[in-house]
Amino acid sequence: MHKRDFNGRVVLVTGAASGIGRLLCLRFARAGARIAALDIDEEGMRSLKREIEAGGGGVFTCRCDISDNQQCRQSVELVIGNCGGIDLLINNAGLSHRSLFDQTRVEVLEKILRINLLGAVYCTSAAIESLIKRRGMIVGISSVAGFAPLLGRTGYSAAKHGLAGFLKTLRTELKPRGVKVLLVYPTHVQTGAGKNALGGDGMPATREWHPAGRVLTAEQAADRIYDAAGKEKRTLLLGGNARLVYLINMFLPRLYERLMVRANRHLLEDDAGWP
């Protein structure tokens, strides 16, 4: 049974134009929420706005480069000004890479960290006063790379570990003020994120990502995140083998590393020095 009703509430989603972000906007809109959508993809947001409004929902969109603190603060202020406040902040925006650390430009790693970690910090900082005032909720879309190693994704894994640590600690600070925090750890979800991953030179990665095991659709993922938020869960392991990954990594870390490398090495076999 849900503890939290989102009907009439303001839900701010970053990375809202595509993938899980878009489906989260649509799912919360169906529940009666007013959607505030942030993304750098203006055409994607126009399409999202049309779809939500065609279904009778309310939506406010704002172009925002999530890696820029000033843009995040200005965008959140616009949301609060137009919508009256924020009841739920979903830090969803993300970008990955597929490249060995010694074959990756540091600028690429910085970009990954800014989008996946600092973007969430920027938006949360800008929204925190409103969230406390309205006893709201924060959702962070991390990854299994937020608690386990992932070959060829040092920057992404560092960012997602950082996001988890940030929100776990923030949860303890906000508990007396009535603000809830949900951390989501997806594994294989059809989002298109794999196609957008960068290579070590900052250009699109050339090798395709082929997930092992059952893959959730973005719509299925959005439904489960919505349900977990409504139940005010603290953690959601999302995807066909997310729980298995968690358990093996926790209790048999060396076995997990062998299995993980075997499943991912095809992505990096062309990189210099990789056998």
Pair of tokens at residue 77: 């202020």
Considering the candidates 122, 156, 185, 226, report the single residue annotated as catalytic: 156
- Any residues with CB less than 8 A from the CB of 131 and at least 6 apart, and which? 86, 87, 89, 137, 138, 174, 179
- Any residues with CB less than 8 A from the CB of 133 and at least 6 apart, and which? 85
Residues paired with residue 39 on neighbouring β-strands, in sequence order: 63
Closest CA to 113 of 50, 159, 49: 159
Residue 143 near residue 90 (C-beta atoms within 8 A) = no
Distance CA 66, CA 90 (A): 13
Amino acid identity of residue 206, one-letter, is: T
Pair of tokens at residue 183: 């951390």
Distance CA 170, CA 124 (A): 10
Pair of tokens at residue 173: 């600070």
Residue 226 is a catalytic residue:
no
Distance CA 85, CA 82 (A): 8
Closest CA to 17 of 108, 87, 92, 117: 92
Q: Which residues are catalytic?
A: 156
